[in-house]
Structure 1
Amino acid sequence: MLVPGKNGQPPSSSTLSWSTRLRIAKGTARGLAYLHECSPRKFVHGDIKPTNILLDAEFRPHISDFGLSRLVTITGNNNNNNNPSSSSSGFMGGALPYLKSAQTERPNNYRAPEARIPGNKPAQKWDVYSFGVVLLELLTGKSPDLSPTSSSAVEVPDLVRWVRKGFEEENPLSEMVDPTLLQEVQAKKEVLAVFHVALGCVEVDPEVRPRMKNVSENLDRIGT
């Protein structure tokens, strides 16, 4: 279920404190690690994005839409406008300060680079990359569907490159993090640590990306 805000509206960005965002990230990582390592088969979700991570009343994340993307492909019905997973609901679409239109078809910028090549066999490292993009979205409050701008107002292709460029140029953390989190001074070290976890997940080379088990363990060490 989705968590409603006041008068049944989606919650505002201020609803998600840093501790809540970190709890969501940790819970999602544990769920993916279970799918990858502990389930009867070593599954690949294949479509990790905010609209497929739902929250209950305690802000506990639940990974949804498992297997639906493959089912749609098998049946040949790949119309994104009719796919429930393309709606603007979900913990990020409702809780961060932008809404994505379900009517406009956009590329899936949560997908790993190798996942965008037709014919490639799904792999667990695809999920790792997608989770990394979700983490960056939690941290920055920006959608990967948008083209955020740097301090020099030069557009960059996507959220992953924008964040990586910011770290390479040693830009202040305040230029990249969601302004809502700047009010939580004590969270700075934890935010920086999660940025590094996220950047490891979105490495271009899938062999360099960590396994979800390691990602989950690294996140669990933050804030404890």
Structure 2
Amino acid sequence: MATIRCCTCGSPKENGKDKKNRIEMRKKTKGKTPRRISLRASLRASVRDLLHMKSKPAFVNVSFKTDSSRHRFIQEEIAKYGKGNITSRIFTYSELCEATKNFALQNLIGEGGFGRVYKGYIHDLHQVVAVKQLDRNGFQGNREFLVEVLMLSLLHHPNLVNLVGYCAEGQQRLLVYEYMANGSLEDHLLDLPPQKTALDWTIRMKIAEGAARGLEYLHETANPPVIYRDFKASNILLDENFQPKLSDFGLAKLGPTGDQTHVLTRVMGTYGYCAPEYAATGHLTVKSDVYSFGVVLLEIITGRRVLDMTRLSEEQNLIRWAQPLFRDKSRFHLMADPKLEGKYPTKALYQALAVAAMFLPICL
């Protein structure tokens, strides 16, 4: 996969000579650099042991003998498959009750099919945190819980959310993250109330670039590569400086290795963001994430949801609405979010749209 780069933030384009030098350097250093070690053998071994499928480095459903063993031994399973590499703290349920004031309603900061997210404070760490309490009947079960703990304990990058710890006490499943003061990209981009200030162009492109770097790390630095599989605006969290971080790794899978071209898996993710070829065949590659990136980039530019049933029928699907506009450069400005009020560099808008079109089924 080609490195995703945001060309709208003023960084110089890579010329042919630079590209040739970069490729040659990569060839010379292949197998020698110690930097490509984020997952190294520990993750490969952990995941393959976890799946009992040593020949296929891909996450599938984790099964235990009985429901009671799922609850009783989940902590031991994490320790077993983590092989000593899980540095995240193990919290007791009472500690997280204290941190969130018994999961008080005033501390509720998010809610979805997975459960609820609460703001909390860990006194001995002097740290504000976000505590995700999984719904026992929700979409994120034991398998996703295990995957997220393993992934975020072994992957570290400025554009990935930091896992502080977890709790697997009794039937409780909780994940404790660093607190992201500005919520999600979705909160600042889509369906904004009239009184809320829209993100300016510079911050939008900063978020797009940071999210792309997070994906680049998963695809090109992690070994084996990791396919995120749920790239969308609500999973891109923003710190106090609007630095973006990818979150929610419950659906992540290890990508193909060696001569493999794809991973065959049950189709998961969010409708509208899934690559058409993945949705049709179940063949998963890093390109599936790249498609999702293109969708989110178009949302960032336009301020529109990929699917919005509140709009006129011809405007409900973002990509279909944009296709005729992409064919006429003189109409590109019609795709810019009206909330930007025309405050963006015209050339930067054209470049951002060109990047989005590279990853979507759009012909320029």
C-alpha distance in 2, partners of 1:148/1:191? Answer: 26
**Residues 30 and 196 of structure 1: CA distance in aligned 2, closer, same or farther (over 3 Å):** same
| Deviation for aligned residue 1:2 | 4.6
- Corresponding residue for residue 230 of structure 2: 47
C-alpha distance in 1, partners of 2:343/2:299? Answer: 18
C-alpha distance in 1, partners of 2:208/2:202? Answer: 10
- Corresponding residue for residue 6 of structure 2: none
Task: Say if 2:220 is the partner of 1:61.
Answer: no
Task: Say if 2:272 is the partner of 1:109.
Answer: yes
Task: Say if 2:340 is the partner of 1:188.
Answer: no
CA contact (8 A) 2:198 2:340 kept: no
Query: Aligned Cα RMSD in Å?
Result: 2.9
> 1:43-80: per-residue Cα shift (whole Å, max 9, x none)?
111110011111111100101112x1259xxxx9x8xx
2:294 aligned to which of 110, 132, 155: 132
Which stretch has the larger CA shift, 194-203 or 160-169? 160-169
Q: Match of 1:69, as an amino acid?
A: L
Which secondary structure state, in structure 2, belongs to the residue aligned with residue 46 of structure 1? Answer: coil
Structural mapping, 1:82-101, within 5 Å: none
Task: Say if 2:182 is the partner of 1:3.
Answer: yes
CA contact (8 A) 2:228 2:252 kept: no
1:145 aligned to which of 291, 307, 311: 307
Which secondary structure state, in structure 2, belongs to the residue aligned with residue 69 of structure 1? Answer: coil
- Corresponding residue for residue 168 of structure 1: 327
CA contact (8 A) 1:147 1:155 kept: no
| Deviation for aligned residue 1:14 | 2.9
Which TM-score applies when normalising by structure 2? 0.40
CA contact (8 A) 2:294 2:359 kept: yes
CA contact (8 A) 1:27 1:60 kept: yes
| Deviation for aligned residue 1:182 | 3.4
Normalized per residue, the structure richer in helix is 1
Task: Say if 2:255 is the partner of 1:120.
Answer: no
Percent of aligned pairs with the same amino acid: 35
C-alpha distance in 1, partners of 2:202/2:252? Answer: 34
**Residues 115 and 204 of structure 1: CA distance in aligned 2, closer, same or farther (over 3 Å):** farther
| Deviation for aligned residue 1:137 | 0.3
How many residues matched?
162
C-alpha distance in 2, partners of 1:161/1:148? Answer: 16
Unaligned ranges ≥5, structure 1 = 5-9, 79-84, 86-106, 206-224
CA contact (8 A) 1:31 1:63 kept: yes
CA contact (8 A) 2:227 2:252 kept: no
| Deviation for aligned residue 1:162 | 1.6
CA contact (8 A) 2:302 2:337 kept: yes
C-alpha distance in 1, partners of 2:292/2:324? Answer: 19
Which secondary structure state, in structure 1, belongs to the residue aligned with residue 308 of structure 2? Answer: coil
- Corresponding residue for residue 360 of structure 2: 202
| Deviation for aligned residue 1:161 | 2.0
Unaligned ranges ≥5, structure 2 = 1-179, 254-265
- Of structures 1 and 2, the larger Rg is shown by 2
Which secondary structure state, in structure 1, belongs to the residue aligned with residue 251 of structure 2? Answer: helix
CA contact (8 A) 1:148 1:158 kept: no
C-alpha distance in 2, partners of 1:147/1:175? Answer: 20
> 1:84-119: per-residue Cα shift (whole Å, max 9, x none)?
x9xxxxxxxxxxxxxxxxxxxxx61011111212x5
C-alpha distance in 1, partners of 2:362/2:328? Answer: 19
| Deviation for aligned residue 1:16 | 0.9
| Deviation for aligned residue 1:15 | 3.8
C-alpha distance in 2, partners of 1:69/1:128? Answer: 16
> 1:101-150: per-residue Cα shift (whole Å, max 9, x none)?
xxxxxx61011111212x5132100000000000000000100111697x
